[in-house]
């Protein structure tokens, strides 16, 4: 059996959630790795869009930021940021948005603004960028994060990007018509919102992960589906493509 890391398992599981027909708003980091793995394996016709305005991009290496020249060089076209947000994103033309964050709660709300009190924070984070608009305007949202008590908290210090709010119908009650966070992919498990309460519930454990590990790395009482499955292992092809992508990226960014 091929060995793989928990990060590789997370990336592969996230990539598999994407379809060939998706138009995907891609975040930098783990979301970018997952989206490009999907493009290089089972979803060659997926349309990847980055916040800087690049549409249909097909980077050979993972970008360092949304302003990375690799994105524009390989895009079908590049539009202005106002057009990207007003016409493409707010116009309802994007099926999936991929997000991560510094803090996440059980309803999929995300904080990327401050840790601690807003006026006197322990840490001031980079902020929302386009994430608040992505969170409400994409057809649905996939979230990728590694589990930790620091990141998976019972109550956010600040809500930067709306998930399901306080749960139940709260998102719809606020006038938001899109689906919201429909999948959370971590290094230990796959979580999906409960149909009624909208609280994230573990539906699949990655190989080697236990209920205890999952429960110990979130700040709320973790819930598990009645029929809990095991995430299929990464295939040899998925690992080869992902590792080659990371190797090319490392070589390009180190100047070798």
What averages of pLDDT result for each successive group of 10 residues across the chain (256 residues)? 86 96 90 94 96 92 86 93 94 94 96 94 91 95 95 96 97 97 97 98 96 97 96 96 95 77
CA distance 55 to 58: 9
Contact between 112 and 128 (Cβ < 8 Å): yes
> Residue 195 is encoded by which pair of tokens?
């149909």
> Cβ(55)–Cβ(23) under 8 Å?
no
List, for residues 101-114, the tens digit of each pLDDT value. 899 999 999 999 99
Catalytic residue among 8, 51, 70, 238: 51
Active site residue 51: yes
- Return the pLDDT at 255: 64
CA distances from residue 41 to 209, 215, 255 in whole angstroms, order as listed:
26, 33, 27
pLDDT at site 129: 86
d(CA 11, CA 208): 16
Sign of dihedral through CA atoms 211, 29, 15, 62?
negative
* pLDDT of res. 2: 66
Taking alpha carbons only, the member of 27, 23, 21, 77 closest to residue 50 is 27
Using N-to-C axis directions, what is the helix angle for 30-40 and 236-254, rounded to 10°? 120
CA-CA distance, 139 to 94, in Å (whole number)? 6
- Residue 1 is predicted with a pLDDT of 47
What is the set of domains in the chain, with CATH numbers? 6-254 (3.40.1080.10)
Quick one: how many helices (H) and strands (E) in the chain?
8, 14
Helix (H, G, I), strand (E, B) or coil at 161: strand
Q: Nearest CA to 7 among 237, 183, 223, 242?
A: 242
> Which of 148, 142, 143 is CA-nearest to residue 213?
148
Looking up tokens 């510094």, which residue turns up?
102
Rounded to whole angstroms, how far apart are CA atoms 31 and 171?
24
Can you tell me the distance from the alpha carbon of 79 to that of 63, in angstroms, rounded to the nearest whole number? 18
Give pLDDT, residue 192: 98
Q: What is the pLDDT at residue 29?
A: 84
């Amino acid at each position: 059996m091929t060995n793989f890391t928990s990060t590789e398992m997370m990336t592969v599981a996230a990539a598999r959630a994407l379809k060939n027909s998706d138009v995907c708003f891609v975040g930098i980091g783990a979301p970018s790795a997952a989206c490009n793995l999907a493009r290089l394996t089972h979803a060659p016709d997926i349309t990847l869009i980055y916040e800087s305005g690049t549409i249909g991009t097909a980077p050979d290496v993972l970008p360092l930021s949304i302003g990375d020249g690799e994105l524009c060089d390989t895009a079908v076209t590049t539009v202005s940021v106002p057009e990207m947000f007003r016409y493409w994103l707010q116009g309802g033309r994007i099926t999936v948005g991929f997000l991560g964050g510094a803090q996440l709660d059980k309803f999929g709300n995300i904080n990327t603004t401050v840790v601690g009190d807003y006026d006197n924070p322990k840490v001031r984070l980079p902020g929302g960028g386009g994430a608040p608009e992505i969170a409400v305007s994409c057809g649905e949202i996939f979230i990728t994060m590694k589990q930790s008590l620091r990141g998976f908290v019972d109550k956010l210090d600040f809500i930067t990007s709306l998930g399901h709010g306080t749960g139940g119908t709260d998102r719809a009650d606020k006038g938001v018509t899109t689906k919201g966070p429909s999948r959370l992919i971590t290094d230990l498990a796959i979580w999906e919102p409960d149909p009624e309460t909208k609280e994230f519930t573990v539906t699949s454990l990655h190989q080697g992960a236990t209920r205890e590990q999952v429960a110990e790395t979130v700040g709320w009482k973790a819930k598990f589906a009645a029929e809990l499955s095991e995430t299929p292992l990464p295939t040899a092809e998925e690992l080869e493509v992902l590792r080659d992508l990371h190797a090319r990226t490392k070589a390009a960014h180190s100047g070798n």
